[in-house]
Amino acid sequence: MSASAPPAPVQHPPLPAGRALAYMAAATVIGLAQGLQQGFVTTSLPQFAGDLGVTTPTAAWLLAVYMIPRAALPVLLIKIRTQFGLRRFTEIGVAAYALVALASLWADDFRSALVLQALAGAAAAPLSTLAFLYMLEPLSPQAKMVLGLPLAMVVLMTGPALARVIGPSLIGDSGMAGVHLAGLGLALVSLMLVLLLPLRPMPREKVIEPLDFLSFALIGSGFAGLIVAFVMGPIHNWFDAPWIGAALVASVIALTLAIAVELNRRAPLLDIRWLASPAILHLTGTLLVFRLILSEQSAGAPRMFQVLGVGPHALTGLFAVITLAGVLGALACIAWMRPGRVAAFHLVALILIAFAAFADSGVTPDWRPAQMIVSQALIGFAGMLFMPPAMMAGLLSALTKGPQYILSFVIVFISTQSLGGVLGSGLFTTFTTHRQALHLQDLAVQLTPSDPETLHALAGRVAALAGMLPDAAARRAQAAADLAGQASLIAWTEAYADAYALTGWAAVIAASALVLHLLRDRLAAKLTEKTL
């Protein structure tokens, strides 16, 4: 959001219906290409670890190095797109993504995989922006808000859920080759589409300055520290690894320096004063809270079922329903979303999430995906009820600043949502790990050799193992191990139940704050009318 931003683009006549549909199809392919890639990295870490011969905690670095450029690079793309032109920006971005996807087929060791994941994150950074541009390109100004935004958001938001639907069928005896080939195929189709369907030209202007690279280095370093800390922190128990705290401190220092630099520039990389305005701060806070609440679906249910021994293939039906619910949410936005109804959409979304989260808080070790279909579908639906109206509010606020701020807001929105997703997942995982340890400690106090219920459970398990283990000592040892495993399972489900309940209360508090905010605005309006 440079102070010397280019003039507003010339308004072009609408495209013919057939060509308009082609542009929207291109947006869908481009959006799914980056969404599925991110989803594959997030959901297939154990498979990546097996393919590369490393542990799953070590493989988590693949996610970290992917998300760092994915979150940071869009900030620099604002000026890159303005100076070098939209067409070159589009073609180089998608071509780079295709080359990285091709190179991934030959990644057979952890170091090369790290490099390629970092390059993949950098190459994927422009794709979210391109998906927005292609979806909005053929539409009239009014349709861009009512139709384009919901469709663009559903394409971008359903990628990770859809990756859980198709991912298990791509991972077979050949390891991750199927996933890499699918990514390459989508990348090549995306490249073909952007070559056949160029975006309309926009004014170009030389806006890149040497200080932009300093600002970007500071912002990128700050984002890197946050992402590494929140990806690796839950794995290493935060306080067991001092370098995680050092990374957090370094990220805060880097971001503070970046703000200081940007505030004293004539043509900053980011307009910090606009981003710090009350309207944008309120919107950013709202999006961050909602992103944290949505962590139940991305970091909650999948990991809980992994603990319960449910394999990826058994989750495909659940995430197919979640994907469909997101599409239905987008259709609801298209039908009823208007600028004056943003608060109503947000309130309904928060109520649905609270209801679903409280329903999930009754989880037991016997639960399977079928028990969570309704609740997770409600959360998927609510996510799509929330995001497009929030995006519309941000774009309208950007439009009051100037038409050139619209794309800048889109890029900042994408960058902060990527960062918010990592932070939310890290906090959710940290909370459940902490609660599991507490619940397991309580259960350990109860499971003593002198406790009658414990003795009865051990005797029953020993009797059940009589036909399998002839040695009495071995039976007792196995029975004790089984009982300890059952206790750990119970502790995990109680921890996830606590996390779901916390999510529900967070949604209730957010909904209450929204209602109070609306009542305050209504009261202020009435007082103004009486004064006049």
Q: Which residues, other chains included, contact 232 with Cβ-Cβ below 8 Å and sequence gap of 6+?
A: 60, 61, 64, 241, 244
> Could you give the 3-state DSSP secondary structure of residue 451?
coil
- Judge whether residue 1 has pLDDT over 80: no
pLDDT for position 228: 92
Closest CA to 169 of 387, 309, 319, 330: 319
Rounded mean pLDDT, 30-50:
82
Alpha helices in 44-85 (DSSP H): 45-52, 56-84
pLDDT for position 337: 87
Alpha helices in 85-209 (DSSP H): 86-103, 110-136, 141-143, 149-157, 159-170, 177-196
Identify the CATH homologous superfamily for domain 1-206.
MFS general substrate transporter like domains (1.20.1250.20)
- Judge whether residue 3 has pLDDT over 60: no
Q: What is the distance between the alpha carbons of residues 221 and 247, in angstroms, rounded to a whole number?
A: 10
- Judge whether residue 156 has pLDDT over 70: yes
Positive or negative, the CA dihedral 168, 170, 173, 175 is negative
Closest CA to 227 of 86, 416, 375: 416
Closest CA to 341 of 388, 301, 373, 395: 388
Say if domain 271-532 classifies as CATH 1.20.1250.
Answer: yes
Closest CA to 284 of 150, 416, 110: 416
Rounded mean pLDDT, 315-326:
92
Q: What is this structure's pTM?
A: 0.86
- DSSP 8-state class, residue 149: H
pLDDT for position 372: 93
Closest CA to 74 of 135, 149, 128: 128
- Judge whether residue 5 has pLDDT over 80: no
279-315 pLDDT, tens per residue? Answer: 778 887 888 888 888 888 888 888 889 888 888 888 9
